[in-house]
Amino acid sequence: MQGPAILIGEQLGLYKALSASGLVTSEELAKKTGLAERYVREWLAGQAAGGYVNYDAASGKYMMTPEQAFTLANEDSPVYIPGAFYLISSIYKDRAKIADAFRTGKGIGWHEHHNDLFIGTHKFFRPGYLANLVSSWLPSLDGVVQKLNDGALVADVGCGYGSSTVIMAKAFPKSQFFGYDYHLESIEWAKDVAFTEGVSSNTTFEVALAKSYPRKDFDLVTFFDCLHDMGDPVGAAKHVHESLKPNGTWMIVEPYSNERVDQNLNPIGRVFYNASSMLCVPASLSQEVGLAIGAQAGDSKLREIASAGGFKQFKRATQTPFNRIFEARL
Ligand SMILES: C[S@@+](CC[C@H](N)C(=O)[O-])C[C@H]1O[C@@H](n2cnc3c(N)ncnc32)[C@H](O)[C@@H]1O
């Protein structure tokens, strides 16, 4: 019950308005947001019952603490959570389709899901990229930040709405970024995001497959949370290999995972294995080869893929509790 109420609060700007208001009545919040007071009053009580906002019984007013605002109102905070609920919402909506795939063994393409998946992926992953990509992930790769500062050519493959592309383009204005994804709708959104964020001049977004995107001589090719979604990750690795300069770098960001199932039976594995069975495995099975390594493939599987693609060096460069960052070199 809390999940959809979080999405209503996000969509209608209730959290943002409340967190910017201090102590307010439901009438004041309804007026501020232009919404119907009777609905807002009930929503506030539900939020307070969940501990997501605070209620002051003496005055009958509501407010959000900085911690509550950090998770629910501030899209740039590293723990902004509503994106997760859009993702979950898409899975509920596509449940019949997914159950059918369990019966037939057939795949479900990323593009075949409800729109909540695409917006959810953007909103859910962006906070982690904002918090880590420029400050720690790129610096963990040998010589890459220097090249980006000087002006490098970068491909961000499987870029979705382009959150990672736009963050890098903002940080490194002398570099040129090409975002590729096979999903047309995502590419259209990515162009909009780049425009809004003021990075249209050093970003280009195109519909393209990981195995056949155009252009060569990239200094850096990045794959954010998408290699395991691909049917033919080895084919993709080979194409990355061909598209890089001889001293170029392939950066692969994958969900955090240990090597074996018994080592992943924890809250992170719980989220990722479930997402994997309902989103990632079907996505891979819908494409040619259909390798379906899953979102919890261990380092050795990823190393095998990079090596089959022709990469001589492969290492885990850094990690967070949610992500592993790999560096592959020619
Ligand atoms: C989990 S989403 C990650 C999106 C984005 N990188 C991010 O981190 O927000 C996986 C993305 O991979 C894309 N994708 C899947 N298979 C692909 C392929 N073979 N070639 C190009 N893109 C692909 C999907 O369309 C989707 O946008």
- Give the Cα separation of 113 and 93 in Å (integer): 9
Q: Determine the distance separating the centroid of ligand 1 and the alpha carbon of 270, expressed in angstroms.
A: 22
Neighbours of 247 (CB within 10 A): 11
Q: Considering only CA atoms, which residue is closest to atom 27 of ligand 1? A: 160
- Ligand 1 touching residue 62 (CB < 6 A): no
- Ligand 1 touching residue 239 (CB < 6 A): no
> Which pLDDT belongs to residue 70?
97
- Ligand 1 touching residue 94 (CB < 6 A): no
Q: Determine the distance separating the centroid of ligand 1 and the alpha carbon of 111, expressed in angstroms.
A: 10
- Give the Cα separation of 91 and 215 in Å (integer): 35
Question: Which residue from 166, 229, 322 has its CB within 8 A of the most atoms of ligand 1, so it is best to mutate?
Answer: 229
> Which pLDDT belongs to residue 303?
98
- Ligand 1 touching residue 287 (CB < 6 A): yes
> Which pLDDT belongs to residue 34?
98
> Which pLDDT belongs to residue 136?
98
- Ligand 1 touching residue 232 (CB < 6 A): no
Query: What is the enclosing helix (H) or strand (E) of 326?
Result: strand 323-329
> Which pLDDT belongs to residue 30?
98
Which atom of ligand 1 has the smallest separation from the CA of 209? 20
Residue 144, both tokens: 């890459």
Angstrom CA distances, 179 to 10, 47, 189, stand at 27, 38, 12
Q: Considering only CA atoms, which residue is closest to atom 25 of ligand 1? A: 183
Residue 277, both tokens: 């069975």
List of the chain residues with pLDDT < 70: none
> Which pLDDT belongs to residue 144?
98
- Give the Cα separation of 300 and 86 in Å (integer): 32
Which atom of ligand 1 has the smallest separation from the CA of 280? 1
The answer, as to whether pTM is greater than 0.95, is: yes
Q: Considering only CA atoms, which residue is closest to atom 23 of ligand 1? A: 158
- Give the Cα separation of 102 and 97 in Å (integer): 9
> Which pLDDT belongs to residue 21?
96
Cβ atoms of residues 89 and 138 within 8 Å: no
Under 8 Å CB-to-CB from 54, ≥6 apart: which residues? 48, 62, 63, 64, 65, 68
- Ligand 1 touching residue 182 (CB < 6 A): yes
Question: Which residue from 86, 122, 159, 181 has its CB within 8 A of the most atoms of ligand 1, so it is best to mutate?
Answer: 181
